[in-house]
């Protein structure tokens, strides 16, 4: 009898200790992104999960790749509402929530990846991240997609004349829209999850995205021509829902910040690799790739700069453009 009372006590104690163990205190977080696990977003997600897992085992991250939780606009709304916990998204989407980030979407602003990374890592980039909490979001770090290029199935585009009249899907981004309209494109702002069907059905002739997206989404299955327009740099962001972030201890916030930085670096590494071998992959899969008259495209959108100056300030735009 005594034995069984003792046994019961031990069992109760063991249950109490077990219940207090970290394994049962784990918090599950939903992480959303638009592309596959093989993409730069997938690489960023894996680095985030590894970094956070190394420093804190109380968080379990469940990935929702391939727009499984909706388009980027819906995902950002989800972060504000607390139905999505972590997300990797493009500035094409954040611009509608944090208008200041739109300055990085100005076409022909950055010379190359080093220039863009330098600006995003500088005070300008840091100040922009600090804008997010004012709009019900938390931004951990600047990730990256690379420079956007044009794909289409009608013709090789080499000059601004060639692009006129093409029906091109663009992101839901008014900064890009202005530039494409100036080029005489029939630009259709559209959420990414609708793009494949629109291309298949011929509702649009093409789209524009960086090599990271064109390669990882296997766009050669839907598009014949890639024109290396490099018309705009596409940053990405690692965002957390304030519902999660504001509930963290200071130590946990640092762990999330570190995970965000690890994700950003992994995305940049992916972009560096795809910049080296992506074009070869696309050619091997039958895409026709051509260079363009970059200076002619740059000159063709120059008139829109007056609008960008009035929206973001000439001083800011020129200081980004001139940054070394
Ligand atoms: O084109 C877009 O909408 C974005 O670049 C994408 C593919 C969703 C990645 O953020």
What's the whole-number mean pLDDT along residues 137-145?
Answer: 98
Measured in angstroms, how far is the CA atom of residue 34 from the centroid of ligand 1?
7
Residues in the chain: 324
In words, the CATH class of domain 27-322 is: alpha beta
pLDDT computed for residue 270 by the predictor:
98
pLDDT computed for residue 25 by the predictor:
77
What's the whole-number mean pLDDT along residues 207-217?
Answer: 98
Q: Give the integer Cα–Cα distance in Å for 29 and 288.
A: 42
pLDDT computed for residue 24 by the predictor:
53
Measured in angstroms, how far is the CA atom of residue 73 from the centroid of ligand 1?
11
Is residue 171 lining ligand 1, measured as CB closer than 6 Å? Answer: yes
Measured in angstroms, how far is the CA atom of residue 108 from the centroid of ligand 1?
19
Structural contact between residues 220 and 282, judged by C-beta atoms closer than 8 angstroms: yes
Q: Where are the domains of the chain?
A: 27-322
Q: Is-above-0.95 flag for pTM?
A: no
According to DSSP, residue 192 is labeled G
**Residue 284 pLDDT exceeds 50:** yes
pLDDT computed for residue 9 by the predictor:
46
Could you tell me how far CA 184 lies from the centroid of its own chain? 27
> If DSSP codes are grouped into helix, strand and coil, which group holds residue 204?
coil
Measured in angstroms, how far is the CA atom of residue 244 from the centroid of ligand 1?
25
Most ligand 1 atoms within 8 A of CB, residue of 92, 195, 206, 263 to mutate: 92
Structural contact between residues 252 and 62, judged by C-beta atoms closer than 8 angstroms: no
**Residue 129 pLDDT exceeds 60:** yes
Q: Which atom number of ligand 1 is nearest to the Cα of residue 90?
A: 10
pLDDT computed for residue 14 by the predictor:
43
Mean pLDDT, the chain, whole residue set: 94
pLDDT computed for residue 19 by the predictor:
46
Q: Give the integer Cα–Cα distance in Å for 8 and 175.
A: 68
Most ligand 1 atoms within 8 A of CB, residue of 65, 145, 208, 214 to mutate: 145
**Residue 18 pLDDT exceeds 60:** no
Measured in angstroms, how far is the CA atom of residue 269 from the centroid of ligand 1?
18
pLDDT computed for residue 92 by the predictor:
87
Is residue 90 lining ligand 1, measured as CB closer than 6 Å? Answer: yes
Q: What is the pLDDT of residues 254-281, one digit of tens each?
A: 999 999 999 999 999 999 999 999 999 9
Structural contact between residues 89 and 106, judged by C-beta atoms closer than 8 angstroms: no
The two three-digit tokens of residue 247, written as one number: 């509930």
Q: Which of 9, 66, 21 is nearest to 42 (CA)?
A: 66
**Radius of gyration, alpha carbons of the chain:** 23
What's the whole-number mean pLDDT along residues 54-74?
Answer: 97
Q: What is the pLDDT of residues 147-190, one digit of tens each?
A: 999 999 999 999 999 999 999 999 999 999 999 999 999 999 99
Burial class (CB in 10 A: 0-12, 13-18, 19+), 256: buried
Q: For residue 52, give every residue at least 6 positions away whose Cβ sits within 8 Å of its Cβ, in sequence order, or none.
A: 59, 61, 255, 256, 259
Q: Which long-range contacts link 124-133 to residues 24+ away (Cβ below 8 Å)?
A: 124/316, 124/319, 124/320, 124/323, 128/98, 128/100, 128/101, 128/103, 128/104, 131/98, 131/100, 131/101, 132/98, 132/239, 133/242
Q: Give the integer Cα–Cα distance in Å for 99 and 196.
A: 28
Q: Which of 37, 51, 122 is nearest to 88 (CA)?
A: 37
Is residue 209 lining ligand 1, measured as CB closer than 6 Å? Answer: yes
């Amino acid at each position: 009898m005594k034995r069984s009372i003792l046994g019961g006590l031990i069992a109760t104690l063991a249950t109490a200790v077990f219940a207090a163990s970290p394994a049962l205190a784990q918090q599950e977080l939903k992480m959303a992104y638009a592309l596959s696990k093989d993409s730069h977003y997938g690489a960023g997600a894996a680095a985030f999960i590894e970094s956070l897992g190394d420093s804190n085992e109380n968080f379990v991250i469940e990935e929702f790749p391939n727009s499984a939780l909706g388009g980027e606009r819906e995902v950002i709304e989800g972060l504000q509402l607390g139905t999505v916990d972590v997300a990797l998204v493009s500035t094409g989407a954040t611009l509608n929530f944090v208008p200041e980030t739109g300055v990085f979407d100005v076409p022909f602003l950055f010379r190359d990846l080093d220039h863009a990374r330098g600006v995003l890592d500088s005070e300008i980039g840091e100040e922009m991240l600090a804008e997010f909490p004012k709009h019900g979001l938390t931004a951990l770090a600047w990730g990256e997609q690379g420079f956007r290029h044009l794909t289409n199935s009608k013709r090789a585009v080499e000059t601004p004349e060639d692009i006129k009249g093409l029906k091109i899907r663009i992101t839901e981004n008014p900064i890009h829209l202005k530039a494409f309209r100036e080029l005489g494109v029939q630009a259709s702002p559209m959420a990414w999850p609708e793009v494949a069907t629109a291309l298949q059905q011929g509702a649009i002739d093409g789209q524009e995205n960086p090599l990271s997206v064109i390669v990882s989404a296997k766009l050669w299955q839907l598009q014949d021509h890639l024109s290396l327009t490099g018309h705009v740099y596409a940053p990405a962001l690692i965002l957390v829902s304030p519902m999660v972030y504001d509930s963290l201890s200071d130590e946990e916030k640092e762990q999330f910040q570190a995970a965000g930085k690890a994700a950003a670096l992994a995305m940049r590494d992916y972009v560096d690799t795809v910049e080296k071998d992506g074009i070869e992959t696309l050619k091997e899969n039958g895409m026709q790739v051509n260079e363009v008259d970059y200076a002619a495209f740059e000159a063709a959108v120059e008139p829109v700069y007056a609008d960008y100056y009035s929206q973001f300030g000439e001083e800011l735009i020129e200081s980004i453009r001139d940054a070394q």
